[in-house]
Amino acid sequence: MNDGQPLSQTLAARMQLGLLGTANTIAHSVRVGRGIAEQLKQSGLIRRVSPREKEPIRLSAICSIGKRAEAYGGFLYLAVAVRFDMTIQGGQIAHGVEDSVCEIDVLPYGDVRQRIALKQYEMIYRLLNRIVREPAKPNYLLIDRTLLLPREFANSDDAEVQREYQKLAGTAGKFWSGTKDLLYPRTQEGMVIVGFPQVKRMGEPLWSISAGRPEALIDPVTIAPIQLALQKTTAFDEGAAARILGTVIWPEQRTAAFAYSGLGFDKRIEPQILLNEIDIASFHYRSGLRTAPQQVEVAGGRAWTSEGLDRLAEKLIESTPFDQPNSAPLPLWMGRKQLEGMRGDLMLEQYQRDLFHTLRSGELDSAWLQGWEPEGA
């Protein structure tokens, strides 16, 4: 008779047996990275940038968060987006506009996680539309999300997710259609819109070179020595590429940029005008020794030059004054911290109590009947 195995024994055995294998995977990537680090730098895949701190930088950042709580045959939800404006020059910081939007309501059972994620994007686009209507626009507009709508929305089996996704895709397409002529580098002195994706492509552009997609690169890179060095390695995959790049990028450096139009994306990804017409350029940079490499996306794609992308990396590094593990450009960091301290779960609990009180007190019926009292009553 098989008596089975308790979870504690299973975990202990798996940790002991898997330890050497995991350590070997990481060590192999580190060894490969050390072996080809010099080729990556000499070939132009890793570029040095130096913040100058001369001109003032006017930045706006938008962050969003969503919360939910099961109640009343569905879920109460809260979707919030905040905007922080800031001007930075020579270490001096001047705070500007602070704006916010939110939505709180009830959703039926279904794919609630994706519906709330769609609500967050909706809040972001509300703030984006406000910003582009302002007479004085920021130099750099930072968004704490990927610029493209995640494909998981389009693949959902929930009819409500599909309906809201199509509505959001229309909103996003209209925004980018009306904004494309306001963007740098298409328009000199135009606005730069930068996305900070939550799911990072850390293996690019090294994986594109290995996979035979050098046309995705925007910066000039000597590919032959990199391909020769990669051919000498074993077990090289996208995960290994990500670990290698994560170890060779040092502070005040960036990777060569790559265009999303060269990665073979599905042309139906929304917003289509952004992917297929405006295009997106992306690279990784590192602002400090204790700060992890960051991937950024910037609207404009192949219209960007290497010098322009260098200046963008310099401005992002300059606007990140602290060397901490979770550091980001200052207005983006402040937006994240405000949302972290918001305690949306407690707000939903209070909203649920207030809803219960309103339903029980008869206040709703009184409000509906107000003005319908018979004459003389």
Beta-strand pair 253-255/280-286: antiparallel
Residue 377 pLDDT grade (very low, low, confident, very high; cuts 50, 70, 90) = very low
Beta-strand pair 258-259/280-286: antiparallel
3-state SS of the chain: helix, strand, coil percent to 5? 45, 20, 30
Q: Where are the alpha helices (DSSP H) in 304-362?
A: 306-318, 330-340, 344-361
CB-based contacts of 122, cutoff 8 Å, min separation 6: 79, 103, 168, 171
Q: What is the residue-averaged pLDDT of the chain?
A: 88
Q: Helix 112-132 crosses helix 159-179 at what angle (to 10 degrees)?
A: 20
List, for residues 215-260, the tens digit of each pLDDT value.
899 999 988 888 887 776 666 777 777 777 877 888 999 999 999 9
Residue 326: the pLDDT is 86
Q: Cα(161)–Cα(156) distance, rounded to whole angstroms?
A: 7
Say what percent of the chain tops pLDDT 70: 93
Task: Dihedral sign for Cα 90, 92, 93, 94, please.
Answer: negative
Residue 234: the pLDDT is 65
Residue 97: the pLDDT is 87
Question: Which tokens belong to 153?
Answer: 């929305």
The better pLDDT of the pair 290, 236 is held by 290
List, for residues 311-353, the tens digit of each pLDDT value.
999 999 999 988 888 899 999 999 999 999 888 888 999 988 8
In this prediction, residues 114-130 reach a mean pLDDT of 96
Token pair 């060397």 is found at: 323
Residue 200: the pLDDT is 82
pTM greater than 0.85 (yes/no): yes
Q: What are the angstrom distances between the C-alpha of 163 and each of 66, 113, 264?
A: 19, 15, 26
In this prediction, residues 46-65 reach a mean pLDDT of 88
